[in-house]
Chain A
Amino acid sequence: MSAAPQAGPAVDGPPASGPKDTDGRTAHRPPVLRLLARPEVGVFLGAMAVLVFFLIAAPSLRQGGSMATVLYQSSTIGIMALPVALLMIGGEFDLSSGVAVITSALTASMLSYQLTVNVWTGVAVALVLSLAVGALNGWMVVRTRLPSFLVTLGTFLILQGVNLAVTKLVTRNVASDDISDMDGFGQAKKVFASSVDIGGVQVKVTVFYWLAFAALATWVLLRTKYGNWIFAVGGSKESARAVGVPVDFTKITLFMLVGFGGWFTGMHNLFSFNTVQSGEGVGQELIYIAAAVIGGCLLTGGYGSAIGPVFGAFMFGMVNQGIVFAGWNPDWFKTFLGAMLLGAVLINLWVQRTATRR
């Protein structure tokens, strides 16, 4: 592999975390502890703890098919949490990702409906638009050098307004029209929103995309030059630039990757629910970011993994649905959710600390 040597993939703990192996102090660290120091292991244990807890507390969760529901919920968060995590490793984040999902879905739906064309046309145009929004976000961030918080907050508000105003202008309502009887809808539904029968259990196709995307992202992060660039620009932009990493290219493409994720999730929303309400999506960006952070990505960039956010999203889905499966008093729903997440993050943190302590 001709990968650049700087900021190696985070397989051996946080970068620059002390002297080299030859120092003697870390040489005898048992392999178990070294494993525990990986960014995704803490969240893995946290997720397993939550899973075991609910398997005990909620008998109906043990039925076949219940786990499919949990995985479905996790996958719709997880597919977006992946590019969001990569972007965070690259040192930026995107507040517009929640409404961008709805922008994409509305574009595909309204374009197909208004022009009465095959829905695949709308799907293609929505992809172009989503990538363009991502590119614009990235371009503004690298050009203005403003914090991505500010730039994407701007995009978030713009898209929120555009979603509403354009939908109203075009359809005279605030939701898109039902496109389920149009040409191509059936095919698109198969691609984006079908189910697969596994031993009598209907598993939503998004679960498979989620895992496939995660495997792909892991490979890119750990085995390709581009993956090294991501760690490098997130760790130190200036030194990355100094050793020849194309910083602007990396950042812009990462934002476009989030755009792609938004398009995919948006298409799933559209083809599973036939119509889209223009006010949806607000607040989802924080859930994606939370899943990435719980999954071990640092808010400061330069550290994290692609597999961590998978468990982060699973934890979110598990807690979200587990509370319902357990049949707890729903008035406390949000409180349970917050407490479980904090607890899981604390386990995560404790594992990290224990593992990296000498």
Chain B
Amino acid sequence: MDRSSRSRSRRPALVVAMATAVALTLAGCSSGSGGKKAEEGGPGASAGKADTPRMTVALVTHQSPGDTFWDIVRKGAEAAAAKDNVKLIYSADPNAGNQANLVQNAIDQKVDGIAVTLAKPDAMKDAIGKANAAKIPVVGLNSGLSDWKKLGLLEFFGQDETVAGEAFGKKLDAVGAKKAVCVIQEQGNVGLDQRCDGLKKTFSGTTETLYVNGTDMPSVKSTITAKLKQDSAIDHVVTLGAPFALTAVQSVGDAGSKAKVATFDLNKDLTGAIKKGTIQFAVDQQPYLQGYLAVDSLWLYKNNGNYSGGGEQPVLTGPAFVDSSNVDRVAEFATKGTR
């Protein structure tokens, strides 16, 4: 009972603290620069609305929570759904078994189409077989370029990670790089390995691989710093995700290195860094396009019987390079979180 009286006596302290916070907020300590006020508003892409009967599409990805990349994929899918009068059911799980269950869940809901990523194709095989048996069209996106046809998918939208890596390697040659370090933020992710492998294939300098703990930024920063100090010959740091590129820039500063930073994938802070010149260039696989095309293609298939790529060839969404020559145009869309 003395416990309850004590907790009651603590309550005013909390109220005072909250009130102080609110008062501080209102009492004119507003920021003169930056913030939401400085952000330019404006709607995303929209293009009227189809008058076709309402259909339901499930998009099932292997996204892990809080990843900026997948957020852009989802926005693309949502934009297509809004335009095509589609009800979009989005679900995701990085664990392949759970992802297969989510596909089964979509089949149980009798959706009109399923779009799925194949990060671990073997685990998805049975679920996709059941969707085919239930005559639900399935399309692939993002990962699974070498497996989508085997699994009986209708079409595929994505970037060949090896091809993107190869393009990156050629670009490194073009800018005169001699020694690059390829920073992998998630050990064991097949797509990330393929990027580094592709890069090694075409880049005529030497490439080293470095693994960092992607969920802990201070650790990412010090690990890259350590690598740059260990090997002063490194002249290019290659990261495989936009947030890690921005951190790598700080590592380069900390290590007193002259290395330049280039990356795969984009976000709005990264376009700013390319504008400023702190990051050289980025390879963009256009995640928005992947989400958009996957949903739109299911609509086309249902309403007009179309197959993108003729059902034979994948539709590639990358690699598109973003550098100082085209960053202004891209930044406009990246600010809205759609590039």
Contact = CB atoms under 8 A, between A and B. Distances in A.
Contact of B230 (A58, A117, A283): A58
Nearest to A75: B218
B150 interface: no
Contacts of A34: none
Interface stretch (B123-131, B151-159, B208-216, B302-310): B208-216
Contact of B25 (A72, A115, A284): A115
Interface in B254-304: 254-256, 267-269, 272
A182 interface: yes
Given A121-B24, A174-B71, A178-B272, A128 B18 contact: yes
Given A115-B30, A164-B66, A280-B217, A125 B36 contact: no
A66 B229 contact: yes
A351 to B, nearest CB: 28
Nearest to B225: A69
A69 B219 CA distance: 10
Contacts of A160: 65
Contact of B66 (A66, A139, A177, A280): A280
Interface of A: 58, 60-61, 63, 65-66, 69-70, 72-73, 76, 111-121, 124-125, 128, 132, 135, 139, 142-143, 160, 163-164, 167-168, 172-175, 177-185, 202, 248-249, 268-269, 272-275, 277-284, 287, 317, 320-321, 324-327, 330-331, 333-334
Size category of the B interface is: 35 or more
Given A115-B30, A272-B218, A333-B211, A173 B68 contact: yes
Nearest to A185: B34
Interface string B35-51: 11111000000000000
Contacts of A275: 243, 246, 269
A316 B295 CA distance: 46
A331 B211 CA distance: 8
A31 B300 CA distance: 83
A63 B228 CA distance: 12
15 contacts: A69-B229, A115-B35, A117-B35, A119-B31, A121-B29, A128-B14, A143-B3, A181-B34, A183-B29, A184-B31, A272-B218, A273-B243, A277-B68, A282-B215, A284-B216
Contacts of B227: 324
A27 to B, nearest CB: 44
B231 interface: yes
A173 B21 contact: no
B64 interface: yes
B229 A116 contact: no
Interface in B8-29: 10, 14, 17-18, 20-21, 24-25, 29
A177 B39 contact: yes
Interface of B: 3, 6-7, 10, 14, 17-18, 20-21, 24-25, 29-39, 64-68, 70-71, 187, 208-211, 213, 215-219, 221-223, 225-227, 229-231, 243, 246-247, 250, 254-256, 267-269, 272, 337
Given A115-B30, A172-B337, A330-B211, A69 B254 contact: yes
A118 B337 contact: no
Contacts of A174: 66-68, 70-71
B337 A324 contact: no
B33 A182 contact: yes
B68 A321 contact: no
B34 A281 contact: no
A175 B24 contact: no
Nearest to A171: B337
A118 B229 contact: no
B243 A183 contact: no
Nearest to A270: B217
B219 A125 contact: no
A248 to B, nearest CB: 6
A150 to B, nearest CB: 20
A280 B185 CA distance: 12
